[in-house]
Amino acid sequence: MKRFRIGAVASVLAATWFVMAVPGSANAEAGDPAVGMDVLDAMCREQGGQPYNTPYTISRCQAARSNKGFELEQTICEGLLDARFEVVDTFGRNNRSNWFCIPLHPFAA
């Protein structure tokens, strides 16, 4: 299952890098937050969490299983979307965490 997850994420990352490399793209520095949100929401569901959309985050995940960590999510958030990744343990639930992908410049046009 882990091999499938890594393969699926690798193909999404490759597609994202391709879109970013196309001349004339809107932002050559970071990926499209809409694409990143879809990818991160899918990864949230895969770890048993509940994705939430808020006006202040690119992606938010509640009560995801944290026993395997969130390295891929952090890489996508910080590396491709140029955002900050935060993790907070869920109170009263072992091996569950909430994570957030927060834009560095939320009000930039």
Euclidean distance between CA atoms 97 and 87, whole angstroms: 7
Max CA separation in the chain (angstroms) = 49
What's this model's pTM, rounded to 2 decimal places? Answer: 0.69
Each residue's pLDDT expressed in tens, for the chain with a length of 109 residues: 555 555 555 555 544 444 444 444 444 456 777 888 899 999 999 999 999 988 888 899 999 999 889 999 999 999 999 999 999 998 877 889 999 999 987 665 4
- Pairing mode, strands 96-103 and 83-89: antiparallel
H or E stretch covering 72: helix 71-74
